[in-house]
Structure 1
Amino acid sequence: MNIPIPTATLVTVTPEMAREWLEANENNRNVRDRRVDLYSSEMEAGDWMITGEGVKFDWNGRLFDGQHRLKAVIKAGVPVQMFAFHNLDPEAQKVVDTGAKRTAADALRFAGITRFVSEIASMAKIVIAWDEGGYRRSGSNSHPDVPSPAITDWSLENIEAATAAADLASQVYRSPFPVLSRSTLAAALFMISRVDEAEARKFAADMIDLRLSGAGDPLYTLHRRIESAIKSREAVGTAGQLFFYFRAWNARRKGERLSVIKIGSANTAAGVATDIAVPAPI
């Protein structure tokens, strides 16, 4: 058997071409709709980038990689440039996507960010998702997808404030005050600082120094609630953790006594989910 020589061509893939190529899609993994939505949003916004990845066909003409890209082209309804690989060994499918993935933190390092890289990358995902309406239900455990270019852009635009928030969160993490996720705390402090930077710093400083006034003090209740979650190994998602911080913060701002911080149900249809209070001046 003469083995065909693999080829790689940069192609402008139209929605019509994507539909045609998908007809050769056999024995591929299940489609992940969130990945299609993520890719299509980048394509619609003109943010899609050409990389060494693309659509791959074996020497039998079967598509074995790239279905998410092609479905995204169809959903976006715009032509997109990407590489098309042909005449690959059918056995190559077994090793596709098995290498180490580049993370959002890797992208920040490439952009020159060196301090609190992982924390800022995670913080960026949370804040971007929050600003787009995500994490509004305390009982939700969903994790909105945020494209890496958006994380990098946000981090570069907010590097000073993001670094300050990450630094504060790290100080709290090293203190006796209990913390479930350093990155989520950093995101909460960043968003609180957009309301009042000085008060945000005092909020963190009071955690670090354990300045708690006993029952009814929002910070004391926050301490006990997080401590209880850690001891009981309660699974508190990002939304729940944000709710903890914002509930305590808003109560302090209003001078309210706070004795309980209770996560609501994720079952929004039943109307019993607890809305996360948006940090705002009183």
Structure 2
Amino acid sequence: MKEQQQNELVPANDPYPLPSESGIYEVSPEMASSWFSYRRHPKLRPFSARTSARYQADMEAGRTQPGPIRWPEATPEGLIFDTEGWIISAQHRLKAQANAGLTLRWRIFVNEPRDISPFLDQGRRRSAADLLSVKYGTQVGAGARHLAALADGDRWGMPRYNSITIPEVVATYNEWPELTWDLTKVMAAQYEADIPAGPHLAVIAQASRTQYRDLIPGWLEGVRTGYDLHRGDPRAHLRNRFRGGLTTFGKVNKRDMAYALIVKAWNAFVSDERITVLKFMASEELPRVEGFVADQKGAAA
């Protein structure tokens, strides 16, 4: 690593000078906090606490991940400062690092012209699907997001679903190879019966870790085709609820509703239960997949 050389204190009052040359440098949480506080240019884009919190979660997750590369060193996108020491691109990552209390190695660009700022952040943010490198990555990512949210959700839904970070989605995918075991058939059920693949994959992945795993092929064939299903068959009811669009009741959002209906139908199917109506109300707890023990990864109940 290059030896850090110090510029004059510009902007004024910042006790932590920037390096004089661009390169990779170790940045303490105190430095990150100070740079965030003193070096934000008056014309910098508005600060987003939500974006910073997402970066912080990624950094904190990287602290426990195996391997030599942590979150900021996994990309050449660095902290960028202009010719006077003001931030061009760095504020959200600096705030996240300061809040996380981590010392990190950053690629730092100094003495950059301020007029490059309109050309930054123009690319598309990488999604979980981009990183999973699997067919139907969007749907598999949604399934992994459901499983991650279920791991620490409450009894009434998945309140953290929307705040699950991309590293969490990827880590969950790696922990659940079952998400891809029946992927083609789950996608066929989505195409032919409008049953959303994300929550369906999450349910089937959990079912694959129970004593009912051998019933999955019959389940998937029934929900896909609807062939020769009697009126009380849970698979027929599930098809009817989703075909043409899911209607929700009360304060239940569609995500929780979709997941709950799939779980309820699956549980009735494995119990060989005839049903007359398939519904989920806001007053109900989110159902659990029959036979799955959440704290027993990989083991049948």
What's the TM-score, normalizing by structure 2?
0.73
Asked whether the 8 Å contact 2:257–2:280 carries over to 1, the reply is no
How big is each residue's C-alpha offset from its partner over 1:145-188, in whole Å with a ceiling of 9 and x where there is no partner? Answer: 2333x4444444544x222231221221343x232x22332222
Q: Relative to 1, partners in 2 of residues 1:249 and 1:94: Cα closer, same or farther, differing over 3 Å?
A: same
Match of 2:129 among 105, 112, 131: 105
The answer to whether the aligner puts 1:78 opposite 2:93 as a matched pair is: no
Match of 2:256 among 235, 239, 263: 239
CA distance in 1, matches of 2:81, 2:246: 49
Identity of aligned residues (%): 19
Partner of 1:248: 265
Match of 1:226 among 238, 242, 253: 242
CA distance in 2, matches of 1:132, 1:140: 9
Asked whether the 8 Å contact 1:138–1:263 carries over to 2, the reply is no
Partner of 1:9: 23
Partner of 1:21: 35
DSSP-derived class of the 2:149 partner: helix
CA distance in 1, matches of 2:112, 2:202: 45
Partner of 1:144: 163
Which stretch shows the higher mean deviation, 94-103 or 255-264? 255-264
Partner of 2:152: 132
The unaligned stretches of length 5 or more in structure 1 are 1-5, 265-271
Match of 2:143 among 102, 123, 134: 123
Partner of 2:201: 186
- How many residues were matched structurally? 258
CA distance in 1, matches of 2:98, 2:90: 13
Q: Relative to 1, partners in 2 of residues 1:163 and 1:43: Cα closer, same or farther, differing over 3 Å?
A: closer
Q: Relative to 1, partners in 2 of residues 1:139 and 1:45: Cα closer, same or farther, differing over 3 Å?
A: closer
Match of 1:171 among 188, 204, 223: 188
Partner of 2:49: 32
Asked whether the 8 Å contact 2:203–2:289 carries over to 1, the reply is no
CA distance in 2, matches of 1:141, 1:237: 15
Asked whether the 8 Å contact 1:120–1:162 carries over to 2, the reply is yes
CA distance in 2, matches of 1:154, 1:140: 17
Q: Relative to 1, partners in 2 of residues 1:76 and 1:138: Cα closer, same or farther, differing over 3 Å?
A: closer
Q: Relative to 1, partners in 2 of residues 1:37 and 1:263: Cα closer, same or farther, differing over 3 Å?
A: farther
DSSP-derived class of the 2:162 partner: coil
The answer to whether the aligner puts 1:275 opposite 2:285 as a matched pair is: yes
Asked whether the 8 Å contact 1:251–1:258 carries over to 2, the reply is no
Give the AA of the match of 1:221: H
Q: CA deviation at 1:130?
A: 2.2
Give the AA of the match of 1:45: T
Structure number with greater CO (CA < 8 Å, separation at least 6) is 1
Partner of 1:268: none
CA distance in 1, matches of 2:115, 2:80: 12
Q: CA RMSD for the aligned pairs?
A: 3.1
Q: CA deviation at 1:225?
A: 1.9
Q: Relative to 1, partners in 2 of residues 1:16 and 1:40: Cα closer, same or farther, differing over 3 Å?
A: same
Give the AA of the match of 1:278: R
The unaligned stretches of length 5 or more in structure 2 are 1-19, 292-300
Partner of 1:207: 223
Asked whether the 8 Å contact 2:149–2:160 carries over to 1, the reply is no
CA distance in 2, matches of 1:227, 1:174: 10
Partner of 1:269: none
The answer to whether the aligner puts 1:48 opposite 2:71 as a matched pair is: yes
